[in-house]
Structure 1
Amino acid sequence: MLEIRDLHVNYGAISALHGISLKVEQGKIVTLIGANGAGKTTTLRAISGLVKPRSGVINFENHAIAGLPAHAIVGRGLAQSPEGRMVFANLTVLENLRMGAYLRKGQENFAKDLDYVFCIFPRLKEREWQAAGTLSGGEQQMLAIGRALMSKPKLLMLDEPSLGIAPLLVKTIFEKIVEINQELGLTILLVEQNANLALKVSHYGYVLETGRIILEDTSTALRENKEVRAAYLGG
């Protein structure tokens, strides 16, 4: 569904990605793990059209999307829940969710999709008229994922969904990620510093280190790999 080949990204004179290649199969959860500064967020930003690659190929459903503006990429069915959540703090929960549906051609099924988001994240329903900026970190993460779902994506990218969230809510959010994948058949590309959690919920994984993919395998195999265990899973 998504294929990246030999992707290079620079920030000015600094090279952030050094020719990475990866694939995301339809219906799967694929995770990208690595330490801070490895290039995980840069990879998602390049796919989303927020950063222009220096070179390389990004194909989504066999169409080249590298260099397209971000809104055009969302319009093709590729949505991102960003690192740090980035909710519209002064808007209500409902208004944030409506913003997620901004590019949808028609409003048919809007109510049905809204009901699904409220069903999977009941806390959002409880806080429907509350300003997003007053929510807890975990609730804002639910809202960021819900907002992305409202765009009716074919592929959902999640950037550090566990960041800055209480452990109990992290567990809930990862359970919901699996639920979304299984119930909707939605393809998910997950970037996550908590490698243990990411490899538990995903089907396939890539290990990114200083802008290069150094290892790839099924998530089960990566969890059992001695090098991955030592570097990312606490031994």
Structure 2
Amino acid sequence: MNEPTALAVDDLYVSYGAISALRGISLNVPAGAIVTLIGGNGAGKTTTLQTLSGLVRAKSGRIHFLGEDITALAPHEIVARGLCHVPEGRMVFPQLTVDENLSMGAYLRKNAAAVAQTRDTVFTLFPRLKERLRQSAGTLSGGEQQMLAIGRALMSAPKFLMLDEPSLGIAPRLISTIFEKIVEINRSQGVAILLVEQNAKLALEISTHAYVLETGHIAMQGPSPTLRNDAQLKAAYLGG
């Protein structure tokens, strides 16, 4: 991974009271890359993304995004710099329409023409959202809500996307569609992506590099094709 670095995490420690959630993790996401973070329940994957997006404060360590130290920034300041988080469970606004949810994603942007252009890009990626524009988000299927959550994030014109368990709670027939769209966003828009995903097989197929998180520390890392063939990782995460 010799490309310029979009996101650099150095020796990050996070605690919830007396409980250590992250214990000195370091990782890098090159500009324009898809990097995945895999691990079991309770490994610290969601905490990692919440800390990177400013929702949880680090006890120690540094986070640099596009060369700037963002460790102490507020969540809205981090979004304004182009780092956007699509949380686990999608967290769409259920009472608002699809259209209103998308507008919420663009709340920091002032250029109406640029926002309209981004909206068209979202509809090209996810035509189903345009079909359901006036529908309440809470009435969408799980897969449609995931499309909306990603589309809402894209409305902020991100330079970097963090996706937390995008396959969770989605019908199997739609999972491959969601992952195809993640790759398309990365390739067509040059958006770097940090992907947290329990479906390790899929995550390793679309990423270039992977980190394996176990009980708050990085247990293994390397190029995704190498880890796909690692016997220990296959036994733990890929079904042998």
Category of TM-score, reference length = shorter chain:
over 0.9
Question: Residue 17 of structure 1 aligns to which amino acid in structure 2?
Answer: L
Partner of 1:136: 141
Q: 2:116 aligns with which of 89, 92, 111?
A: 111
Q: 1:199 aligns with which of 197, 204, 214?
A: 204
Seq. identity, %: 66
Map of 1:69-218 to 2, 5 A cutoff? 69-218=74-223
Shift of residue 107, structure 1, vs aligned partner: 2.0
Question: Residue 221 of structure 2 aligns to which amino acid in structure 1?
Answer: E
The alignment partner of 2:113 has SS state of: coil
Partner of 2:50: 45
Task: Report if the CA contact (8 A) 2:53-2:85 is conserved.
Answer: yes
Partner of 1:10: 15
What is the root-mean-square deviation of aligned Cα atoms in Å?
0.6
Q: 1:229 aligns with which of 209, 213, 234?
A: 234
Separation in structure 2 between the aligned mates of residue 100 and residue 113 of structure 1, nearest angstrom = 11
Separation in structure 2 between the aligned mates of residue 62 and residue 68 of structure 1, nearest angstrom = 14
Relative to the length of structure 2, the TM-score reads 0.97
The alignment partner of 1:104 has SS state of: coil
Relative to the length of structure 1, the TM-score reads 0.99
Partner of 2:3: none
Q: Which moved more, 1:106-115 or 1:160-169?
A: 106-115
Q: What whole-Å deviation, never above 9, does each CA across 1:30-82 have from its counterpart, x for those lacking one? A: 00000010000000000000000000010001111112110000000000111
1:25 aligns with 2:14: no
Q: What whole-Å deviation, never above 9, does each CA across 1:107-161 have from its counterpart, x for those lacking one? A: 2311111011011111101100000000000000000000000000000000000
The alignment partner of 2:9 has SS state of: strand
Unaligned runs of 5+ in 1: none
Task: Report if the CA contact (8 A) 2:161-2:192 is conserved.
Answer: yes
The alignment partner of 1:56 has SS state of: strand
Question: Residue 100 of structure 1 aligns to which amino acid in structure 2?
Answer: G
Number of residues of Structure 1 aligned to a counterpart in Structure 2: 235
Q: What whole-Å deviation, never above 9, does each CA across 1:179-230 have from its counterpart, x for those lacking one? A: 1111111100000010000000111100000000011111110101111100
Unaligned runs of 5+ in 2: 1-5
Separation in structure 1 between the aligned mates of residue 58 and residue 28 of structure 2, nearest angstrom = 17
After TM superposition, what 4+ stretches of structure 1 lie above 3 angstroms from structure 2? none
Q: Which moved more, 1:103-112 or 1:173-182?
A: 103-112
